Amino acid sequence: MRTTVGIIGGGPAGLLLARLLHRAGVGCVVLEIRTREYVEHRQRAGMLEQGTVNALREAGAADRLNAEGLVHHGIELRFARERHRIDFPTLTGGRTVTIYAQTEIVKDLVALQLAEGPPLLFETRALAVEDAESERPVVRFVREGREETLSCDWVVGCDGFHGVAREAIPAAVSRTYAHDHPYAWLGILAEVPPSCEELIYARGERGFALHSMRSPSVSRLYLQVPVGTELEEWPDDRIWDELAARFAIDADWTLARGPVTSRSVTPMRSYVHEPMRHGRLLLAGDAAHIVPPTGAKGLNLAVSDVRILSRALTAWCSTGDTQLVDRYSELCLSRVWQATRFSYDMTKMLHAQPDGDAFDQRMQLARLRRITASRHAAAELAANYTGLPLPEWV
Ligand code: FAD
Ligand code: DHB
C-alpha cells in the first residue's frame, strides 16, 4: 500500500489529523490496532479548550459538539471547607471551555472518516516504522493475520504513550524527561445529574477530588488514590463516601449519588520526548508527551500538535516548502512544556503528598489563597486552563 501520510493510531490525534489532511486534499491512511467499538468507548478526557472546539468546527466535525457540548465559564476551587469561583471570561478577555467527552469526539470523527474517507483500518497493528531517515519511510503492519507494508512520504506516530512509532527514533538523538507522581486517579462515570454547574477541584488532607460531568444526566468524578490501588478495594459506597468527605464545605451542599457505570484507575505521569520529529517520522499527542490529568491538557495538546502538523504537511504537499515541517518539533515543544508545567503545578498544589509534611500543606494553601485573593494570580490560572495561544497562522 502507498500513501502520502501514514498515520499510526486512530485516537483523537490520528483521527483529527486525517480529517484535516483529507479536507486539504492530502492523501493519508490511518492504522488502528483496536476495534471501532473499543476506541469509541474508551473513557478519558472531557474538558476542551476553546481552541480545540474551534479546530473541530473548522474540521467540519462539530455538529453534535455544537448541539450537546456544555459551555463553562469557570471552575470552582475547594479547600479549607470553602468554595472559590474562578471566572474565565472576565480574567481572559472572554474565553470559555466546553465539556464534551473524548468518546464523542472519536465517534464523530470515525463516522465522518468512514463516510467520506480517507481509509481508516481498524484491527490493524503497526509493528514498526522503517527508513525514517529516507524519503520513503515505511510502516510494517499486520492485518487479518498478514504482514503488509505502507509506503509513505511522511509517517505520523499518533499511537499514544505505549505505541511503536517513538521506538523508531534512535536513542542517540532522543532525549526523554519524565516524572512519576506518587498517586493515581480512580475515575467513575455515574448515572446521576451533576451536583454542580461547573467543575470542582477539591484539595484536602484526605486527598484530591474532581467533580466533572458528561451531560446534564451523567457525572464524571475522580479521587486521588495510592499508586497500586485495585478497583476491588473500592466498592461504590466507599467511593461515594470518600467523594462526599472530600467535597464537604461549611455550606449547604450535598453530593448526589447514582449508579456507577464505569470505573478505572489511571497513573499520573509527566513525560516529554524530544525531538518530536526524526527525518520523515513525526510524533503527535500522547506518543510524544503525557501530562497528569489535573488541568485537562492531554487531549488539548494532542489537538494543537495536529493543527500545527496539518498546516506543515499541507504546505509541504502543495509547494514542497519544508519551513514549517522543519520547525514542527520546536513549535510544538514550547507549548508542550508550558502545559507540562501547568499540569505539574496544578497536580502538586491540589494533591495530598504521601511523603509531605505540615510545611508542604501550608505551601499548598498559600498557593490557593494567592489565586483566590489576587486577580493577577487567578488570571494566570485562567489563561493556562483555557489554553495558551497557538501561532496566528494555525
Ligand atoms: P490515544 O488516545 O492514546 O490514541 C492512540 C491510539 O493509537 C489508540 O487508539 C491506540 O489503540 C492506537 N495504537 C497504539 N499502538 C498502536 C499500534 N501499534 N498500531 C496501531 N494503533 C496503535 N486530556 C484533556 O485534554 N482533557 C481532559 O479532561 C483529560 N482527562 C483525562 C482523564 C483520564 C482519566 C485520562 C486517562 C486521560 C485524560 N486526558 C485528558 C488525556 C487524553 O485522554 C489523552 O491525552 C488523549 O487520549 C491523547 O490522544 P492521542 O490520540 O494522542 O492518544
Ligand atoms: C475531566 C478530566 C480532567 O482531568 C480535568 O482536569 C477536567 C475534566 C473530565 O474527564 O471531565
The model's pLDDT over 207-229, given as tens digits with 9 standing for 90+, comes to 999 999 999 999 999 999 999 99
Q: Which of 129, 231, 286, 301 to mutate to test the pocket of ligand 1 (most atoms within 8 A of CB)?
A: 286
Q: How far apart are CA 328 and CA 309, in angstroms?
A: 7
Q: Residues near 99 by Cβ (< 8 Å), separated by ≥ 6? A: 46, 47, 48, 69, 70, 72, 199, 212, 213, 214
Ligand 1 atom closest to the Cα of residue 305 is 52
Q: Supply 168's cell numbers.
A: 523508531
Q: Say yes or no: CB of residue 294 within 6 Å of ligand 2.
A: yes
Ligand 1 centroid, distance to 253 Cα (angstroms): 34
User: Annotated catalytic sites, by residue?
Assistant: 72, 201, 293, 297, 385
**How does strand 289-290 pair with strand 260-274?**
antiparallel
Give me the residues paired with residue 222 across strands.
187, 210
Crossing angle, helix 12-23 and helix 102-116, to 10 degrees? 40
The model's pLDDT over 315-372, given as tens digits with 9 standing for 90+, comes to 999 999 999 999 999 999 999 999 999 999 999 999 999 998 999 999 999 999 999 9
Crossing angle, helix 323-350 and helix 358-373, to 10 degrees? 110
- Does residue 393 carry a pLDDT above 90? no
Per-residue pLDDT band at 391 (split at 50, 70, 90): confident
Tell me what pLDDT residue 222 has. Answer: 98
State the ipTM, two decimals.
Answer: 0.96
Q: Which of 48, 103, 212, 346 to mutate to test the pocket of ligand 2 (most atoms within 8 A of CB)?
A: 212
The model's pLDDT over 263-321, given as tens digits with 9 standing for 90+, comes to 999 999 999 999 999 999 999 999 999 999 999 999 999 999 999 999 999 999 999 99
Residue nearest atom 7 in ligand 2 by C-alpha distance: 296
The model's pLDDT over 126-138, given as tens digits with 9 standing for 90+, comes to 999 999 999 999 9
Tell me what pLDDT residue 17 has. Answer: 98
Question: Which residues line the pocket of ligand 1, CB cutoff 6 A?
Answer: 8-14, 31-34, 39, 44-47, 102, 125-126, 158-160, 163-164, 185, 187, 266, 285-286, 293, 296-300, 302
Ligand 2 centroid, distance to 304 Cα (angstroms): 18
Residue nearest atom 8 in ligand 2 by C-alpha distance: 47
How is the chain split into domains, by residue range? 5-72+100-178+269-353
Task: Report the predicted TM-score, pTM, of the whole model to 2 decimal places.
Answer: 0.97
Asked if 31 contacts 142 with a C-beta cutoff of 8 angstroms, the reply is: no
Q: What is the CA radius of gyration of the chain?
A: 21
- Identify the three-state secondary structure at position 9: coil
Q: How far apart are CA 303 and CA 165, in angstroms?
A: 18
- Does residue 42 carry a pLDDT above 90? yes
| Residue 145 Cα distances to 2, 67, 142, 148, 159, angstroms | 20, 41, 6, 10, 20
| Residue 382 Cα distances to 14, 62, 283, 286, 343, angstroms | 28, 24, 28, 24, 13
- Considering the domain 5-72+100-178+269-353 in this protein, what is its CATH number? 3.50.50.60
Distance, CA of 69 to chain centre: 17
What percent of the chain is predicted at pLDDT more than 90? 98
Ligand 2 atom closest to the Cα of residue 295 is 6
Mean pLDDT of the chain, nearest integer: 97
Tell me what pLDDT residue 392 has. Answer: 86
Ligand 1 centroid, distance to 286 Cα (angstroms): 6
